[in-house]
Structure 1
Amino acid sequence: MKIALLSMTNISVSNATGSLLARLFEGIPPDDIVQVTKYRHSDEVADRYTRHIPFYDFLERQRASENRLVKLPAAALRRLLFPLMFFVGNKHSVLRQLRNFQPDLLYLRVVAEPFYYLPLALFLKKNLGIPLVLHFMDDYDLHLQIEARKNPVRYIQSRLYRHFLRQVIAQSDLRFAISENMARAFQTRYGASFLVAHNGIDREAFEWFQSVKYEKARPKRVLWAGAIEVDKDHRIIHHIAGAIERINADIPCEFLLNVPENFATPAKKLADRYATVRWQTYQPLEAYKKLLATASVLIIARNFDEKTRAYTQFSFHNKLPDFLASGTPVLAIGPEWDNTVQLFKKYNFGPVIDQEDPNRIENELRSLLSDNAPNPSDPARAARVFDMETIRQHFQTRLLKMIE
């Protein structure tokens, strides 16, 4: 099975989505996957995959130029003529290279930005005549609709996105959602069936966490691993940082932010504001696993506002299975409609705070950080619920049926 993977980011362990892709496609020879990407991370997993085709939209290469005489006019033109990004780019070059590769199917990770992956998928589907598989991980459609209410540019983008999205869904041969909640909601909204594929716990990772005997970090560490985005978690992270600042007066502790490089700026601002906040960019896989094992508390959190709801209510935290496998207590903070909060309540994965209440956040963290606090985690149950081998087998079996 040869796959053309259309995704903003490549298979890697440098970000949560790349890690999910690595696990879903594990077992398929790297030479049988060609990745059409905008961003390319390099790490111990990403470097196994050597087939890459860069995809550019209208004036994207010029905007990234080091020559300011080229860079500044290109950036201005992109803003003025942004609808052209749907139609102008190097898609013909991508098509020529894919014809040489001869893939059996197209896999598209659906995103709203960059928009041009939707018309690219339609173009390739038409010219290659092979099955198109879609994978939705966030509700960009509703997110853009809310932003469009106050922003005329977003209004145009939203209309264009919905136009191409419905075409892509209509022409797709198989569709995956990131959660059961998303699958049900999207089936109603778009009138098409959806299967589910999300991240899970590999047996090897589970056994590793069970076998290691690391000492817990001192001072006690609360770990945030992932991006710090205004639309998802920027407000709630201030509540958490403030709570840890107050707890530190009685229980020595720190709030460590392990973030992608492009989120170093908000992490640094938090560290400048709160004395107990430290930050670092993403670590190699083994160092990251040690971070999970040596923390005292891991945080999974979302904002509580309607804008966040539009974007993430059906989402699945790709880092959640790793957190649960580690055996470190995980605190979930988010509204009742949040998919992760619902999973915690359904499977009793750990403590949940489902109201935006700084006092509750402080009290729960204080309890988890206290000496001799009971550990509410149950990695064995999480490994059964999120068995990656079962998820991967189901996913790859459905792909194979597309080309039989």
Structure 2
Amino acid sequence: MTHPRDEFSETGKFPKVLVVGHLPFDRSTGTTITLSNLFHGWPKDRLAQIYTSAGEPSAEVCENFLHFPPREHYPRPQYLALRMLGWNGSGPVQGIPAIAAVRDAADRRSALAAVYPHLVALGDLSPLHLPPRIVRWLQEYRPDVVYSMLGSVRLTRLATRAAQLCGVPLIPHFTDDWPATLYSRRELGGLARRRLHAAVDGLIGLAPAGMVISEPMAEVYQRRYGIPFEVFANSVDADFFAIAQDGSTSRDRPVTNLVYVGALHLGRWRSLRTIAASAAAISAAGANQVRLTLHCPTEDAERYRGAFTGHPGVEFGRSLASHEVPGVLAAADILVHVESFAEDTRRYTRYSVSTKIPQYLAAGRPIFGHGPAELASMSHIRAANAGVVVGVPDTDLVTEELWKLSLDSSSAQAFGRNGRAHAERHHRRERVAVRFADVLRTAAGRAWSRTAETARRS
């Protein structure tokens, strides 16, 4: 259904946006932090969100929410069949006890690891049912544009259906290269991959432009999909710039404090364990004591703590609330960023820039990066001249470069200053917000112009 657009008012520099996502606005994950920062300051009467998870939304950025729980996604016969399998109707289908058991055992048994992706694909590809209440809410809200970070076939279909029902353009925001990597092992005999391509192609057909998270990703996606892409990574607020930097460095202290903030999944724990081994070797040599503190989600600490047994210099700090992060980063001597060297993971993360990279830069501390050199996150650190990157899985080289950085106070201070200046130019929230609104306004404005021209001619 299409309908004439009212010309944007004074406050209409902010188009009326419908956000489609799995998680609601909050600050519990990297994705929702980025989402909340990008829409921070948006007029609340011009913002709404439909979300599918069981999470509790925050009213900090948005107040108009529609919860579309998984139990409503399926036609009645399929829903009843899933309930008979033990599904509770609120969480994802992967939460069915039998499927969860396969997932939990997949790390230990290769045969089960091969089965689990097929089960995930079945849940993702199941037909999407939109109940009448969902359709009514979408059409009554009357957005100017739909925006979504996507991440699955199911969310892609939901965002596409929402834009079609409302007769408006769709702006996709890709934060990792899931369209190229999801279902790449011929899940369901290749059907999952074909359905994925069809869903993304349908979405691109409604998109006058798109958003991505890094410059390399923009170049690749423009060639791949034939529409322009603008770069929007996480932005950082004034808190990260306001915390005083005391200028002290690792050379001024008996212990060099390395700090990592983030999740340990996607193989990151392996790269962190390499750094932990290097920290232990440096400490054992007696020239400098190096300690590594990991601030990760509680479930990650429970799952991976055993992998760091035998590394006495590693401490699992508490899981941080978003408002605690600036102070923790500023108190560190060196901030650590890692990615996995596993081939499948490096393909998935090759164009991504972690939510914490802009935060690290704004904190004004040197960064030690360890992960494949070609990844956009590692390139971002190098481009900002904000630290040292070891881009190969070489423990001796990690030890050597970490030792140098922990002893070279002048270089550490220079890296911190460079990172902070880069964050001021590229990641300060106020500056990013203006450009972000402009992209969405342009997309919505073009749609209004086409509709108005059609109406004049009829």
Q: Calculate the TM-score normalised by the size of structure 1.
A: 0.85
Does residue 142 of the first structure (1) align with residue 180 of the second (2)?
Answer: yes
Q: Distance in 1 between matches of 2:282 and 2:382?
A: 26
Does residue 51 of the first structure (1) align with residue 51 of the second (2)?
Answer: no
For residue 146 of structure 2, give the secondary structure of its aligned residue in structure 1.
strand
CA separation of 1:207 and 1:118: change in aligned 2, threshold 3 A: closer
Q: Distance in 2 between matches of 1:91 and 1:282?
A: 38
Match of 2:217 in 1: 182
Aligned AA (1:227): A
Does residue 239 of the first structure (1) align with residue 252 of the second (2)?
Answer: no
Larger Rg: 2
Aligned AA (2:192): Q
1:75 is displaced (CA, Å) by 7.3
Match of 1:392 among 433, 439, 445: 433
Q: Distance in 2 between matches of 1:42 and 1:83?
A: 23
Match of 1:34 in 2: 48
Is the Cα contact below 8 Å between 1:109 and 1:136 reproduced in 2? yes
Is the Cα contact below 8 Å between 2:138 and 2:165 reproduced in 1? no
CA separation of 1:30 and 1:328: change in aligned 2, threshold 3 A: same
Q: Distance in 2 between matches of 1:46 and 1:260?
A: 23
Does residue 383 of the first structure (1) align with residue 430 of the second (2)?
Answer: no
What RMSD over aligned residues (CA atoms) do the two structures have, in Å?
Answer: 3.2
Does residue 4 of the first structure (1) align with residue 43 of the second (2)?
Answer: no
Q: Distance in 2 between matches of 1:191 and 1:111?
A: 20
1:109 is displaced (CA, Å) by 0.7
5+ residue gaps, structure 1, are none
For residue 303 of structure 1, give the secondary structure of its aligned residue in structure 2.
coil
Q: 1:225-269 CA deviation, whole Å, 9 max, x = no partner? A: 111123x52431221122223333334333222123443333423
Match of 1:256 among 284, 293, 301: 293
Moved more, 276-285 or 133-142: 276-285
Match of 1:192 in 2: 227
Alignment of 1:124-139 (within 5 A): 124-139=162-177
CA separation of 1:74 and 1:338: change in aligned 2, threshold 3 A: closer
Is the Cα contact below 8 Å between 1:304 and 1:335 reproduced in 2? yes
Is the Cα contact below 8 Å between 2:23 and 2:51 reproduced in 1? yes
CA separation of 1:373 and 1:211: change in aligned 2, threshold 3 A: closer
Match of 1:110 in 2: 150
Is the Cα contact below 8 Å between 2:367 and 2:381 reproduced in 1? no
5+ residue gaps, structure 2, are 1-14, 102-117, 446-458
Moved more, 389-398 or 210-219: 210-219
Match of 2:262 in 1: 226
Match of 1:313 among 350, 353, 363: 350
Aligned AA (2:416): S
Is the Cα contact below 8 Å between 2:241 and 2:363 reproduced in 1? no
Q: Among all aligned residue pairs of Structure 1 and Structure 2, give the percentage whose two residues are the same amino acid.
A: 23
Match of 1:401 in 2: 442
Aligned AA (1:205): D
Q: 1:183-230 CA deviation, whole Å, 9 max, x = no partner? A: 11011122222122122344x235313467899998542111111123
Match of 2:312 among 249, 264, 275: 275
Match of 2:197 in 1: 162
Aligned AA (1:143): T
**How many residue pairs were aligned?**
392
For residue 28 of structure 2, give the secondary structure of its aligned residue in structure 1.
coil
Is the Cα contact below 8 Å between 1:227 and 1:263 reproduced in 2? yes
Does residue 336 of the first structure (1) align with residue 380 of the second (2)?
Answer: no
Q: Calculate the TM-score normalised by the size of structure 2.
A: 0.76
